[in-house]
Amino acid sequence: MTNTGSTEPLQRDERLVVVGYDGSKASHAALAWAVADLDGAHGKLFVVSVVDDTVPQDRERSSQQLVDEVTDDLLTIAATLTRDHPNLRIVTDGTRGDPVDVLRQYSNPTTCVIVGAARHRGGSLHRPLFHSVGERVAAAGRGPVVIVQGPKGPASGIVVGVADTQDSLAAVEVAAEYAARRRETLILVHAWQEPARTTELEIDDPGYVDWLRGRHRAFVNRVEKAVVAAHPTLHVVAHLEGDNAEDALLSWGKSASLVVLGSRRSTPLGWFLPGSLTHRLINDAEFAVALVPPDTTVSTTAARRLAGVGRL
């Protein structure tokens, strides 16, 4: 089923996934990721292409002509997807405006927005000086935003960063739902680092470090137990990493289908703080990253069980 526009209401218990599409390899990868996530599920795929009003356009063609062209392209894509996935409801829309503003309109606690992002090469000194569309949408988003870093080879496992914060626990449940839908293993990664050595006796005492490590291990084990209780058929593994969170997630993400991270720190200008874990992960990763704000809607049962995990 295809049409132009998104006026069709969702059916009962139907998920809506919105994909920002611009014809790039990264947006093709984002579209493929969305289709795989909805495959066999009760959901609707909304593919939107935006003629960017914030940059100069082709002088020989009007904005409306460009909109007509992208609309035709989307209908062709939708026809192909409908042929290959006859049970998938597909809606397309070609429009004009600021891509970030358009995609933000669809971000809410029950809707996932997926965008592609070109991979950055050459390390941090060679990164672009602007924030990507995906990062800016995620920074102001009210629901999960998945940023797909271009095509990737075989991968498996849904990795989620675990911390004792509300946004992290929301991310754990979103990751569990992804893993259950995609029939993949959920990998809980909790990173911690030994405190810096000082002249204070309790910090230099090996027994104190062992006690602290035990607290972190107990915490991630409680999260694992809560997830298994909410999703008894899901394969869940928990890992305690003695490393900083960025390096731990980058390492696990190399072979993963997706890395999920809670997000809560963005600037008033609408992007994540430079140097923050979220900003660094988006820019350094070569895999799909899902950013989950704390008010994302999750199942009541899962929320209740995770709320009982407690703090470190």
Return all residues near 286 (Cβ < 8 A) that are at least 6 apart: 119, 149, 150, 152, 253, 254
The range of the structural domain enclosing residue 174 comes to 155-312
Residue range 145-153: mean pLDDT, rounded: 80
pLDDT of amino acid 41: 67
Q: Would you say residue 249 lies in a domain? A: yes
Q: Would you say residue 194 lies in a domain? A: yes
Q: Would you say residue 222 lies in a domain? A: yes
Least confident of 5-9, 72-76, 290-294: 5-9
pLDDT of amino acid 294: 76
**Number of independent structural domains in the chain:** 1
Q: Would you say residue 131 lies in a domain? A: no
Q: Would you say residue 201 lies in a domain? A: yes
The predicted-structure confidence for 273-296, as pLDDT tens digits, reads as follows 545 677 777 776 778 899 988 777
Q: Would you say residue 122 lies in a domain? A: no
Closest CA to 172 of 126, 127, 222: 222
Does 247 score more than 50 pLDDT?
Answer: yes
DSSP-H helix ranges across the chain: 25-38, 63-84, 99-105, 133-140, 166-182, 201-204, 206-230, 245-253, 277-284, 300-307
- Which comes out higher in pLDDT, residue 119 or 88? 88
Rounded Cα gap, residues 150 and 139, in angstroms? 20
Q: Would you say residue 88 lies in a domain? A: no
CB-CB contact of 264 with 214 (8 Å): no
CATH number, domain of 278, equals 3.40.50.620
- Which comes out higher in pLDDT, residue 164 or 299? 164
Q: What is the mean pLDDT of the chain?
A: 80
Q: Would you say residue 308 lies in a domain? A: yes
